[in-house]
Amino acid sequence: MRYQYKPALGSFILFYLLSFSSFAQDTFNNYKPLQSSGQIPVDFLQLSSEKYTQEKNAISKSDKAFDKRAKKDFFLESSFLIRDLLYSGRVLFNDPVSVYINQVADQLLAGNPALRGKIRFYVVKSPSVNAFATNSGMIFINLGLISQTETESQLAFILSHEITHYLKKHVVSQYVEDKKIEKGKKLYRSLSSEDKLLSRTNYSKELETEADLEGLSIFLQSNYSTRQLNGVFDMLQYAYLPFDDIPFKKSFFESEHLQFPATCFLDKVKAIAPPTDKDETESTHPSVEKRRAYILSKIGKGADTIKSDYLVSKAAFLQARKIARFELSHLYLTSLRYEKAIYNSYLLLQEDPNNLYLQKNIAKALYGLTKYANEEAFNSVHEDEERIEGHSQQVYHLFERLKGKELNALALKYSLDLKRKFPTDVALAQLSDDLLKALVVKHCKSEDDFSAKPLSEVRQGLIEASLVDTTEAAQRNKYQKIAIDQLKTQTEETEYFIKYAFVEDFKDEAFAKNFDKYLQEKQLSTQERNETKKQKRSRLRAENKQKARQERIISKKGAALGIDKVVMINPAYSKIDQRKAKSIRYLDSESAELKLNEQIQKNAQLAKLKVDIISDNTLQSSDVNKFNDYAFLRTWIREHINHLDASVTMGNLDVTSVQELVAKYGTKYYCWTGFASVREKKRMKAAVFFGSLVFAPTIPYALYYVTMPEYDTYYYSIVFDLTTGKPVFQDIQFIDKRNSRDVINSTVYNTFYQLKNKR
Amino acid sequence: MRKELYSFIGLLTLFTSVCAAQPGYQGKKLSIQGSMYFMPALVNANYSKKSGLLTFNTASEASLDYVVGKRNSLGMSYRHARTSNLLGEGKEGVSPDKVFTNSVGIYYRLYRRDFGNIAPLGRYLQMGAGMMFNKVIEESGTTTSFNMYSIRVGLGKNRVLFDRLLVSYGWEFAYSFTGFNAEGVLGATYYYKDEAPSMAQYRLLRHSMLNLKVGIGFLAK
């Protein structure tokens, strides 16, 4: 009977896998970055002050006074920092990868349900190969780590290592020990700063070793096989490399009419450094080779042949890892590591050569590199090729070699080709148009910069034109042949390799028309530069007049943008007291932040401006959609603030997500705002006071200086137009005052007034 | 006087129509305020007491202020003060002359360009002018009335409490004179032939010369 079921079962599995894989293929082709789902976990909803009170109350009464104080400090700092992480827009819950990680944890801790109930696993959208545990039982696993694992059992081993950190309360122990070292308590008395550093790292290494060994015990109690554990240490050894290392083909960006010169590609890439067992003094972890040695010695050989590398399922592991790898492409993009994004996408394209998401990521990365290169800020997004090992170095070398115009042309060519494949894609159309405009306006001198005819045709034309008589090839004499060969070589040497890149594209009427349009615009501005002195003076006068008029209007009415609705993203409030060693006043900052939300609402009402606040402290457990919007906007704003810092104007690359948000909230204006209040540390108080005694009339001033506190308040408010990616309003102020309620209200109202008011 | 009042109203109307688009404090631009100007009566008696460290010469003021720009406001004020002029100080049985003044004035406030100063909140420089209607009542019962002009410059700071209450403090320097004729003020030749009014005039000059100010008001609209 059993055998009769086999084919049926096999067919069912085959059918299931096929349908799964076809669904997955489609999902990955139209891949959308991961989002959280379901109810928002309690960890996210509890205020940091509440968490701090809970943890503080749990401190053992038998602890020594110093330890108690250090633990209190730790709980205060960590509860706020963890909340910052939870609301950084990077932490996920109930998404497919988190669900899978929790399933692995279920398998790992199947024998210890009580412990399982205490631990919560969250996935972090970060490309770094890392995982970390908190004192309260939250364990964070980076997507970068998941993307590099080879089997589910490897993942389970890493989880068990982190579980040990939680069980043994390593984080708080390390903090208390660091404090003891810092203050020179007991054994650490009269140590030099180098010895203190050494003591700190040694203690950390002890904890890591304990986490490895105790983690292994947890792991061994599960049904996971130890066969692949050696691979964990390979992964850690080469965590700085991409998830795979394959040659980057020169032909990848090339086409019939765009061929790179040989200098753009390396004959040989830098070899990957061999593993080392050197235990670095300043490292918080023992060397990977040491860890490998003691773990492998504990495992022994062939002990668990009945155990498995996959307890959830291999398909689920591969799916989660693939998602993680797909996420990396996007993460590198948003963190402006464009070359990494290109190589990561290139690796993934080997499996899905026509994947739209990956190709679009490459187009966006090329766009980003071009924009930074055009604004002379290329080095802020480019990594030195000398520091790169393995085949990915080829990508860094290529972009280091390409000049601004060449890079712009390559980016345009890639996005045009992609647009031709996916003509309905709005983002690609925008990207291509922006790149074409940049290429023409920034780099083109004349229409001859790019040719509409292929090189072969141009060369033939030159040859024909150079011959006085149109002698047949067979009848040419020796000198005619030499002249023709020389002409061929000459054209090859002198012609710019990107000149013929758009031969195919010039056949497209819209492209040719836009090219001419931008060239005309450019020529108009060039003509301005060629004008006579008188013409120039009169033009400048008119421009200055117009500028002065604008300034007058702005000074009278402010920016006067006529905006009806704004969405405020997590209005922040930090209180800092520079007189104290722990200068951040976490608890005060939290209550000030809660009040700020109320003040924003009130001032918005008074200014008749519609305002939605998406903030960590306005969310309820059912607000998962709002949480996802918040996470997207935090990332989007972080990325665009980086562009602003580098003075680079980038278009909006997330067209679909942005359109959805604009429709959902009924506005395209999103504001990033906050206050920081600083109580200054007054210096030389005694000197000022005693100095004043020398000259009596200065005594009142000295008394004032000595007794009166000095406060400064900082305010920032940047409003972005989400559809263009550009800031439409910026107000960054230093307020030489205390952060009193009236100052906050007045400042916030003034911003809203400028946004709402019309010219 | 009427002319000045008309000029002020004209200016106010012009500013409020042209520059109406100013934030004010949460949209509130008009404020009504009561202020007290004071200075210890160290060398002169005040209205009822002899000079001393804890004796003050005071003036009370009611003012109307309207924000016309992000850093500008215009206002008008009415001020009343009384003091005494002890001509025969040291002589037994001599009681001081009583001096009264009522003044109306206009002023312009320029809020500092420092960030965080948005009228009517923050530090300001105030410049103004006033017309003083004075009266001196001598011991004999003789009453003399006379007018003076004053120009005033002051520095101050406004704070807003509970989004409505305006608290103000600062100091003011004022220079008062009888006419646009310098010698009439400096005491070389008194404008009045009689000693009492001319001394009262001098007294008022000193009374208003330097004063500290505290005020409280509310943001009306």
Listed in sequence order, the residues at least 6 apart from A620 whose beta carbon sits closer than 8 Å to its beta carbon are A40, A45
* pLDDT for position B105: 94
State the CB neighbour count (10 A cutoff) for residue B146.
18
In angstroms, rounded to a whole number, what is the distance separating the alpha carbons of residues A120 and A106?
A: 11
Give A-chain residues touching B160 at CB under 8 angstroms: 742, 745-746
Tell me the one-letter amino acid at A521.
E
Quick one: tokens of B62? Answer: 């009611």
In angstroms, rounded to a whole number, what is the distance separating the alpha carbons of residues A243 and A347?
A: 8
Listed in sequence order, the residues at least 6 apart from A744 whose beta carbon sits closer than 8 Å to its beta carbon are A596, A599, A675
Residue A523 has pLDDT above 50, yes or no: yes
Quick one: tokens of B199? Answer: 């001394």
Q: Minimal Cα distance from A605: which residue of B?
A: B26
User: CB–CB of A170/A211 below 8 Å?
Assistant: yes
- Among A556, A558, A742, select the one facing B159 at the smallest CB separation: A742
- Work out the angle at residue A546's Cα, subtended by the Cα atoms of residues A543 and A552, and round it to the nearest 5 degrees: 140
Interchain contact, B160 vs A746, CB within 8 Å: yes
Disruptive mutation site among A750, A752, A759 for chain B (greatest number of B CBs within 10 Å): A750
Residue A1 has pLDDT above 50, yes or no: no
User: CB–CB of A318/A155 below 8 Å?
Assistant: no
State the CB neighbour count (10 A cutoff) for residue A601.
14
* pLDDT for position A415: 95
Interchain contact, A736 vs B116, CB within 8 Å: yes
Tell me the one-letter amino acid at A252.
F
In angstroms, rounded to a whole number, what is the distance separating the alpha carbons of residues A257 and A197?
A: 58
Give A-chain residues touching B116 at CB under 8 angstroms: 713, 733, 735-737, 743, 746-747
User: CB–CB of B88/B187 below 8 Å?
Assistant: no
Interchain contact, B26 vs A560, CB within 8 Å: no
Does B110 lie at the interface with A, CB-CB under 8 angstroms?
A: no
Could you tell me the strand order of the sheet in which A669-679 lies? A610-614, A565-577, A669-679, A711-721, A726-735
* pLDDT for position B41: 79
- Is omega for the bond preceding B120 within 30 degrees of 0, making it cis? yes
User: CB–CB of A176/A118 below 8 Å?
Assistant: no
User: CB–CB of A331/A5 below 8 Å?
Assistant: no
Residue A644 has pLDDT above 50, yes or no: yes
Q: Minimal Cα distance from A557: which residue of B?
A: B21
Does B155 lie at the interface with A, CB-CB under 8 angstroms?
A: no
Listed in sequence order, the residues at least 6 apart from B214 whose beta carbon sits closer than 8 Å to its beta carbon are B35, B36, B38, B168, B169
Q: What is the number of CB-based contacts under 8 A between chain A and chain B?
A: 61
- Among A558, A560, A745, select the one facing B26 at the smallest CB separation: A745
Listed in sequence order, the residues at least 6 apart from B43 whose beta carbon sits closer than 8 Å to its beta carbon are B51
Distance from CA of B106 to the nearest CA of A (A): 23
Disruptive mutation site among B68, B71, B111, B121 for chain A (greatest number of A CBs within 10 Å): B121
User: CB–CB of A258/A410 below 8 Å?
Assistant: yes
Which residues partner with B161 through β-bridges? B165
DSSP state letter for A681: P
Interchain contact, B69 vs A556, CB within 8 Å: yes
A646-672: average pLDDT:
90
Which residues partner with B98 through β-bridges? B84, B137
Compute chain A's Rg from CA coordinates.
32
Give A-chain residues touching B27 at CB under 8 angstroms: 606-607, 749, 753
Residue A158 has pLDDT above 80, yes or no: yes
Interchain contact, B121 vs A742, CB within 8 Å: yes
Q: Tens digit of pLDDT for each residue in A391-450?
A: 999 999 999 999 999 999 999 999 999 999 999 998 899 999 999 999 999 998 887 888
Distance from CA of B114 to the nearest CA of A (A): 7
Taking the alpha carbons of A290, A291, A296, A297 in that order, is the dihedral positive or negative?
A: positive
Listed in sequence order, the residues at least 6 apart from B92 whose beta carbon sits closer than 8 Å to its beta carbon are none
Q: For chain A, give the percent of residues with pLDDT over 90.
A: 58
| Residue tagged 């023409």 (tokens) | A440
A305-321: average pLDDT:
91
Q: Tens digit of pLDDT for each residue in A190-243?
A: 777 778 788 888 888 888 999 999 999 999 999 999 988 899 999 999 999 999
User: CB–CB of A538/A735 below 8 Å?
Assistant: no
Interchain contact, B115 vs A742, CB within 8 Å: no
* pLDDT for position A9: 40
List the beta strands (DSSP E) in A86-152.
91-92, 120-124, 131-133, 138-142
Interchain contact, B26 vs A746, CB within 8 Å: yes
Quick one: tokens of A496? Answer: 């710019």
* pLDDT for position B182: 42
* pLDDT for position A372: 95
Phi/psi at B109 (nearest 5 deg)?
A: -110, 130
**Helix-strand-coil split of chain A, %, nearest 5:** 60, 10, 30
pLDDT class for A11, splitting at 50, 70, 90?
very low
Disruptive mutation site among B117, B162, B163, B168 for chain A (greatest number of A CBs within 10 Å): B163
Tell me the one-letter amino acid at A16.
Y
B172-196: average pLDDT:
60
Quick one: tokens of A548? Answer: 């002065």
User: CB–CB of B72/B110 below 8 Å?
Assistant: yes
DSSP string, A536-595: HHHHHHHHHHHHHHHHHHHHHHTT-----EEEEEEEEEEEEETTSSS-B-HHHHHHHHHH
Disruptive mutation site among A753, A758, A759 for chain B (greatest number of B CBs within 10 Å): A753
- Work out the angle at residue A295's Cα, subtended by the Cα atoms of residues A293 and A297, and round it to the nearest 5 degrees: 65
- Angle, helices A624-645 vs A314-334, to 10°: value is 40
So what's the ipTM on this one?
0.82
* Distance between start and end Cα atoms, chain B: 28
- Among A736, A749, A750, select the one facing B114 at the smallest CB separation: A736
Per the prediction, chain A carries an average pLDDT of 87
Q: Which residues of A touch B (CB under 8 A)?
A: 555-558, 560, 603, 606-607, 713, 715, 733-737, 740-743, 745-747, 749-750, 753-754, 757
Give B-chain residues touching A757 at CB under 8 angstroms: 21
Does B27 lie at the interface with A, CB-CB under 8 angstroms?
A: yes
DSSP string, chain B: -HHHHHHHHHHHHHHHHHS----TBTTB-EEEEEEEEEEE-SSS--SSS-S-TT-EEEEEEEEEEEEEETTEEEEEEEEEEEEEE-TTTTSTT--PEEEEEEEEEEEEEEE-SSTT-BTTBEEEEEEEEEEEEEEEE-TTS-EEEEEEEEEEEEEEEEEEETTTEEEEEEEEEEEEESSS-THHHHSSS-SSSSHHHHHHHHHHHHHHHEEEEEEEEEE--
Q: For chain B, give the percent of residues with pLDDT over 90.
A: 42
DSSP state letter for A528: H
pLDDT class for A189, splitting at 50, 70, 90?
confident
Residues 158-187 of B with CB under 8 A from A: 159-161, 163
pTM comes to 0.84
DSSP string, A292-337: HHHHHHHH-SS--TTSBS-SS-HHHHHHHHHHHHHHHHHHHHHTT-
DSSP string, A31-88: -------SSPPHHHHS-HHHHHHHHHHTS-TTS-HHHHHHHHHHHHHHHHHHHHHHTT
